[in-house]
């Protein structure tokens, strides 16, 4: 008994240390990401600008350009990571991620429809960049992208209701619906003008630079509310880890919980993708790393996964601006470069292959 108590205390101490370390790393990377950029401000100038006591140009760079971007990295990273974690539990599939239900594919189609169809493509304008810029409304693009994401989720969940929410059915339905959205996007792009096609393709890049304070606050509201709800439901997710039958035996309404979990996770993804574009692999990397470090208890793993997601996206954004030689590379490309090898290692590991 004493040995068990000692082991438990050591395990709790380890988890606490990991969480504190992640919090400190997120804070450190927040400022590193905030102070790195093409403006080449010194550390002193950056702190002065943060206090709004530097030149007007430096103040604007920190507060109007970099701060919304860094906030977007923290919020979207946390949201996408937690969404992946909940999807993996709900579907009992270690490969599940925010893209499993075709949410990202639907968002891309919606954005393409808005950009190509109404602000730069085959309808009335889009023969030159000036026309596109004058008619381009980022909130209209994000709104339509979000609407199609939600439509896609509701379609899949509706189809799966017929099959009593079999996890395999959800995954397969997501792949099928995602393929349809991708095909529709390809057809739209085929009929687009050069400028419309360029604008649509650029939108699909995961780019934190387009974030504004208004978008950050919208994402923050959705992500924070969703994470709080997931933590409240954490014991139910813990029960699902032992299988649907065990969860039902302790009073968990598995079908309803799976519906709420998948819908909310997709909502988080839809909001982030519609504002920032495609940022992949965050929802795969972070949940697996956290589960390896602190275990599967959702009460602890959900907030820890959120911290890990924020840290990953901050690191990716810092790399994207450091490698870009004066211009930031799409952060979605960096997360893909980091995530693809991780995904392959996970795929071919003995445990996951079994």
Phi, psi of 278 (to 5 degrees): -85, 120
* Two tokens, residue 238: 């813990």
Which percentage of the chain shows pLDDT scores above 70? 88
* pLDDT per position as a tens digit, 197-208: 888 888 888 889
Range with the poorest average pLDDT among 36-40, 85-89, 106-110, 173-177: 36-40
Half-sphere exposure of 294 (CA within 13 A, CB side): 24
Split at pLDDT 50, 70, 90, the class of 260 is very high
What pLDDT is attached to residue 336?
Answer: 85
Q: Compute the CA torsion angle 6, 10, 15, 18 (nearest 10 deg).
A: 170
Number of domains the chain contains = 1
CB distance 296 to 238 below 8 Å: yes
- Rounded CA gap, 166 and 162, in Å? 10
* Two tokens, residue 271: 């909001």
DSSP 108-131: HHHHHHHHHHHSSSSSS--SSHHH
What pLDDT is attached to residue 255?
Answer: 86
CB distance 64 to 34 below 8 Å: no
Give me the mean pLDDT over the 235-257 stretch: 92
Statement: residue 77 has pLDDT above 50: yes
- Rounded CA gap, 317 and 331, in Å? 6
* pLDDT per position as a tens digit, 338-348: 887 877 776 67
- Rounded CA gap, 285 and 336, in Å? 10
Give me the mean pLDDT over the 256-264 stretch: 90
* pLDDT per position as a tens digit, 292-327: 899 999 999 999 999 999 999 999 999 988 886 656
Give me the mean pLDDT over the 10-25 stretch: 93
Residues 6+ apart with CB under 8 A from 100: 87, 91, 93, 170, 171, 174, 175
Check which CATH number belongs to the domain holding 135 and give it: 1.10.3470.10
Boundaries of domain holding 67: 2-353
Give me the mean pLDDT over the 104-129 stretch: 70
- Rounded CA gap, 342 and 331, in Å? 17
What pLDDT is attached to residue 351?
Answer: 54
How buried is 259 (Cβ within 10 angstroms: 0-12 exposed, 13-18 middle, 19+ buried)?
A: middle
- Rounded CA gap, 302 and 291, in Å? 10
Which percentage of the chain shows pLDDT scores above 90? 43
Max Cα–Cα distance, the chain, nearest Å: 77
Angle at CA 140, nearest 5°, toward 127 and 335?
90
* Two tokens, residue 44: 């002193």
What pLDDT is attached to residue 2?
Answer: 61
Give me the mean pLDDT over the 238-257 stretch: 91
Closest CA to 155 of 237, 266, 230: 266
Split at pLDDT 50, 70, 90, the class of 173 is confident
């Amino acid at each position: 008994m004493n040995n068990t108590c000692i082991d438990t205390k050591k395990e709790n101490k380890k988890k606490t240390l990991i969480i504190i370390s992640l919090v400190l790393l997120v804070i450190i990377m927040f400022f590193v990401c905030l102070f790195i950029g093409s403006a080449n401000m010194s550390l002193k100038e950056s702190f002065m600008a943060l206090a709004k006591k530097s030149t007007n140009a430096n103040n604007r760079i920190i507060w109007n350009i970099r701060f919304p971007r860094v906030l977007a990295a923290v919020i979207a990273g946390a949201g996408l990571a937690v969404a992946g974690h909940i999807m993996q539990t709900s579907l009992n599939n270690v490969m599940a991620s925010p893209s499993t239900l075709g949410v990202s594919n639907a968002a891309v189609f919606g954005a393409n429809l808005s950009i190509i169809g109404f602000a730069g493509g085959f309808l009335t304008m889009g023969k030159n960049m000036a026309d596109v810029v004058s008619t381009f409304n980022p909130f209209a693009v994000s709104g339509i992208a979000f609407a199609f994401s939600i439509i896609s989720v509701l379609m899949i969940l509706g189809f799966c209701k017929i099959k009593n929410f079999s996890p395999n059915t959800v995954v397969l339905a997501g792949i099928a619906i995602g393929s349809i959205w991708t095909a529709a996007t390809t057809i739209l792009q085929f009929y687009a003008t050069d400028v419309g096609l360029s604008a649509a393709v650029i939108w699909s890049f995961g780019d934190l630079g387009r974030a504004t304070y208004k978008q950050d606050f919208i994402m923050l509201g959705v992500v924070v509310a969703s994470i709080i709800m997931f933590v409240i439901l954490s014991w139910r997710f813990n029960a699902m880890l032992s299988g649907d039958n065990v969860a039902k035996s302790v009073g968990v309404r598995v079908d309803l919980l799976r519906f709420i979990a998948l819908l909310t996770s997709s909502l988080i993804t839809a909001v982030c993708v519609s504002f920032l574009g495609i940022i992949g692999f965050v929802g795969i990397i972070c949940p697996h790393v956290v589960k390896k470090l602190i275990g599967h208890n959702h009460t602890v793993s959900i907030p820890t996964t959120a911290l890990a997601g924020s840290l990953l996206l901050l690191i990716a954004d810092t790399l994207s601006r450091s490698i870009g030689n004066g211009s930031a590379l799409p952060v979605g490309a960096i997360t893909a470069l980091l995530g693809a090898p991780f995904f392959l290692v996970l795929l071919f590991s003995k445990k996951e292959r079994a």
